[in-house]
Structure 1
Amino acid sequence: MITLETLCLRIGNVPAEDVQGWIDSEWLRPEGTRGHYLFREIDEARARLIVELRDDMGINDEGVPVVLSLLDQLYAARRQMLRLREAISVPRENELRGRLRALLNSMHDAHMQD
């Protein structure tokens, strides 16, 4: 974890006031409280993205939260797809088939007893 000052240096000597504005706008969510923030690697990556959007791509302060929200949605969907792919992988697929067979057998057995 790094401090606000270190983050500002690492992302291109961005003024601390700018980063504080990003925190106030909830574009960044560091741990800690004002004056005692600690930033993780993901925070640094997001801050670099904000700098790139703002400075390199010319996206204004009104557009940045829109882009960040869309990217967050994209990454969330990607994580869900990865979890889904893992859930239906062959070993788990066989496990699921086994559970379904057991359930069907128990339902069949219960029906036969009626």
Structure 2
Amino acid sequence: MMAIDDLLATISALQRADLERWIREELVVEQDRGSLTFSDMECARIRLICTLTYDLDVDDSTLPIVLSLLDQLYDTRQRLFSLTRAIKAQDETVQLAIAAATLPESKLEV
């Protein structure tokens, strides 16, 4: 957990007005509404938004779209990791059957 003042001190480029606007626009979520404290995940998201905004000059109107696409990408990545773990937990016969059904023959490895 990080308080807003600590966050502002940690991320030198971050402007309080920008952070407050991102909260209003629900691009960032406070841990407890009105507390102005943020989870580690939200702090990482704020750093990402700062990079997109200040370094990459992503426009304010485009920012929600970019974040939505990144959220979808991260969700898909997590699902793929879960699926991979589930497949690795199966016996070799099942693993080979899944590989045969999903990979082109040239990429199939035993």
Interval of TM-score (by shorter of Structure 1 and Structure 2): 0.7 to 0.9
Aligned position for 1:2: 2
Structure 1 residue 13: Cα displacement: 4.8
Aligned length: 93
1:16 and 1:32 mapped to 2: Cα distance? 18
What is the identity percentage for the equivalent residue pairs of Structure 1 and Structure 2? 33
Partner letter of residue 19 of structure 2?
Answer: V
Unaligned 5+ residue runs, structure 1? Answer: 98-114
Does the CA contact (< 8 Å) of 1:28 and 1:46 recur in 2?
Answer: yes
Give the structure with the higher percent helix. 1
Q: Give the ranges of 4+ consecutive aligned residues of structure 1 lying more than 6 Å apart after TM superposition.
A: none
Partner letter of residue 80 of structure 1?
Answer: R
Partner letter of residue 26 of structure 2?
Answer: E
1:60 and 1:78 mapped to 2: Cα distance? 26
Map 1:42-81 onto structure 2 (within 5 A).
Answer: 42-81=41-80
Does the CA contact (< 8 Å) of 2:13 and 2:54 recur in 1?
Answer: no
Q: Superposition RMSD on alpha carbons, in Å?
A: 1.7
Structure 1 residue 55: Cα displacement: 1.1
